[in-house]
């Protein structure tokens, strides 16, 4: 009887050990894709801080003048990613209508011209900008405020401002109460690709196909504990305005510096800034890295508009350039 028990014990060990070994190897292998992508990004100047260098075009007068002068060689190659109906109703001279998913393919027609992406408010265009900058177009830019700023007839901003955070129990009043940063596991990237460039291209395509990923300030303020929230402001700004309850402040946020380890990949990672344009850039990048990331739509302008003294939408931001 004892001999039979020993045989059974040995057989059980023989079954369990390979399973444990396989499970361990699988977890390790799952991280290889992320590590490969991480190395590729950092060695090719594709880190997030690289992506956020001079990415926004604020000079409407410049855009208007070069698009309307007699010299076509100094134009922007403008990708307008609004709907075909809205594009037909009016657009910047020379603009090409395409979709968010189609921006990388359309960019091949730009030649040597600098690329400028335009949407309704500047937020979705920021997703496109990240995609282009990671796809061989490092100088791609978005037009600040989008078509809302280009011509008042297209204003999508005014109705989207609000002050729902003022006096809200889930808004920590100045000087704020930022959560203490901690480290989490890195996200897992599932792919059959093994080279950094191929993994990146696959991830960029998936991000674009997923469309703009955003969440409203109302939803976040209603249940901040449902999200991992990153306040993308300086310390001074947090102390001046406060912050969403439970929010962290992870800035700088880079791959090379390891700050991405301060994000929790098991939760919906929400980034908020002033207007939702920078947070859209960050969100697109984080989704490419494998995070479940969301941009808080219209940023602080949607939550504490009445309190803002800068970074604020207003009538002075909307021009009347040719449609």
Which residues in the chain land under pLDDT 70? 1-30
Domains belonging to the chain, first-starting first, are 50-157 (3.40.250.10), 171-307 (3.40.250.10)
Please tell me the distance from the alpha carbon of residue 74 to that of residue 64, in angstroms, as a whole number: 12
pLDDT of residue 79: 98
> How far is the C-alpha of 306 from the C-alpha of 153, rounded, in Å?
24
In this prediction, residue 323 carries a pLDDT of: 79
| Token pair 């808004």: residue | 171
Maximum CA extent, the chain: 98
Report the pLDDT value the prediction gives residue 29, as an integer from 0 to 100: 54
How many angstroms separate the CA atoms of 287 and 143, rounded?
A: 22
Burial label for 111, CB within 10 Å (0-12, 13-18, 19+), is exposed
The residues near 184 (Cβ < 8 Å, ≥ 6 apart) are: 261, 262, 263, 264, 265, 266
pLDDT of residue 12: 41
State the pTM of this model: 0.91
Q: What is the model's pLDDT at position 27?
A: 41
Beta bridge partners of 269: 228, 293
pLDDT in tens, 239-284: 999 999 999 999 999 999 999 999 999 999 999 999 999 999 999 9
């Amino acid at each position: 009887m004892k001999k039979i028990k020993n045989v059974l014990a040995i057989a059980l060990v023989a079954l369990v050990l390979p399973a444990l070994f396989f499970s361990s190897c699988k977890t390790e292998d799952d991280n290889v894709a992320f590590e490969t992508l991480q190395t590729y990004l950092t060695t090719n100047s594709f880190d997030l801080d690289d992506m956020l260098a001079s990415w926004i075009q604020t000079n409407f007068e410049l855009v208007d003048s070069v698009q309307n002068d007699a010299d076509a060689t100094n134009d922007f190659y403008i990708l307008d990613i609004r709907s075909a109906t809205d594009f037909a109703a009016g657009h910047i001279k020379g603009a090409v209508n395409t979709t968010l998913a189609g921006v990388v393919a359309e960019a091949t027609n730009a030649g040597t011209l600098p690329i400028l992406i335009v949407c309704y408010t500047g937020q979705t265009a920021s997703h496109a900008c990240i995609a282009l900058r990671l796809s061989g177009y490092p100088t791609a830019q978005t037009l600040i405020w989008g078509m809302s700023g280009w011509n008042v007839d297209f204003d999508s901003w005014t109705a989207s401002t609000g002050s729902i955070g003022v006096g809200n129990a889930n808004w920590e009043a100045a000087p704020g109460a930022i959560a203490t940063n901690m480290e989490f596991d890195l996200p897992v990237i599932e792919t059959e690709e093994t080279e950094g460039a191929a993994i990146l291209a696959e991830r960029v395509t998936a991000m674009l196909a997923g469309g703009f990923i955003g969440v409203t300030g109302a939803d976040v303020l209603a249940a901040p504990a449902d999200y991992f929230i990153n306040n993308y402001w300086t310390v001074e700004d947090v102390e001046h305005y406060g912050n969403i309850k439970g929010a962290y402040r992870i800035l700088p946020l880079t791959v090379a510096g390891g700050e991405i380890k301060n994000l929790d990949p098991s939760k919906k990672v929400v980034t908020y800034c002033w207007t939702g344009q920078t947070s859209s850039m960050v969100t697109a990048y984080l989704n490419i890295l494998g995070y479940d990331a969301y941009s808080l739509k219209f940023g602080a302008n949607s939550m504490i508009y009445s309190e803002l003294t800068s970074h604020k939408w207003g009538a002075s931001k909307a021009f009347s350039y040719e449609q």
